[in-house]
Amino acid sequence: MNFCSFPFFLHLYYPFKLINQIMENKKEHWEKVFAVNRENEVSWFQTYPKTSVEFLEMFNLSHDANIIDIGGGDSRFVDILIEKGFKNIYVLDISANAIERAKKRMGEKANKVNWIVCDITEYEPKVKFDFWHDRAAFHFLTTEEKINKYVSIAEAAINKEGYLILGTFSESGPTKCSGLEIKQYNETSMSGRFEIRFDRIKCIKEDHITPFNTIQNFLFCSFRRK
């Protein structure tokens, strides 16, 4: 399992204790969420990630393609990737608890996955990706600084003609998730974030039925790296 650390240069400007607080406030929140809630006790749970799989199947990727699931946690999308025969699978999540739960559920199959515990805005990819998937991590970034950081990382990490799939709450969806503020998107605002280095392919809206029988409206957009 790979870990990432707080950028060294910030130690030049902030006390070590403050740096730890900045990181731990966000990380501790998610560690607690996955420590106290079972798989089907969080709103984003899906027994089968139908929409994500449909986008995956649109692009007829080679089994050797590099695929990453951002904020994948203990999502079952990774199970589908393995079942379909993909060989170079990466799952990134800020929560070590989430990843450990996924590994426990998957058993020996977990050894086929590259697991990364990291805040996406501090991620330094070691490979280029052909398929970047993110269902509901991007919308937790609510400042321009964090959003721009994410975009720049994706721009650098995705191969030319590689694919980016993003799922966020739409403007008809919730304004909070797991007690945290989120940023809603529509097709125009989502596309505008990525228009410099990506061409938009397709956007759809979808109602996600939570385990609590409530409805959350999502926007999914797919892009191709120019």
pLDDT value at residue 9: 34
pLDDT value at residue 22: 41
Task: Dig out the tokens for 107 from the structure.
Answer: 């058993």
31 assigned to some structural domain: yes
Number of domains in the chain: 1
What gap in Å lies between CA 9 and CA 5, rounded to an integer?
11
pLDDT value at residue 41: 76
Range of the domain at 135: 2-167
Return the bridge partners of 168, or none.
219
pLDDT value at residue 5: 36
179 assigned to some structural domain: no
CATH assignment of the domain containing 51: 3.40.50.150
Average pLDDT per block of 10 residues along the chain, 226 residues long: 41 39 68 84 86 96 98 95 98 96 97 97 97 96 97 98 98 92 97 97 95 93 98
Buried (b) or exposed (e) across 39-76, using 16+ Cβ within 10 A? Answer: beebebbbeebebbeebbeebebeeebbbbbbbbbbbb
What gap in Å lies between CA 172 and CA 201, rounded to an integer?
22
pLDDT value at residue 1: 59
208 assigned to some structural domain: no
Q: Are 92 and 129 in contact (CB under 8 A)?
A: no
Name the pTM for this structure: 0.88
3-state secondary structure of 5: coil
206 assigned to some structural domain: no
191 assigned to some structural domain: no
pLDDT value at residue 69: 98
Instruction: Give 140: exposed, middle or buried? Use CB within 10 Å, 0-12, 13-18, 19+.
Output: buried
218 assigned to some structural domain: no
125 assigned to some structural domain: yes
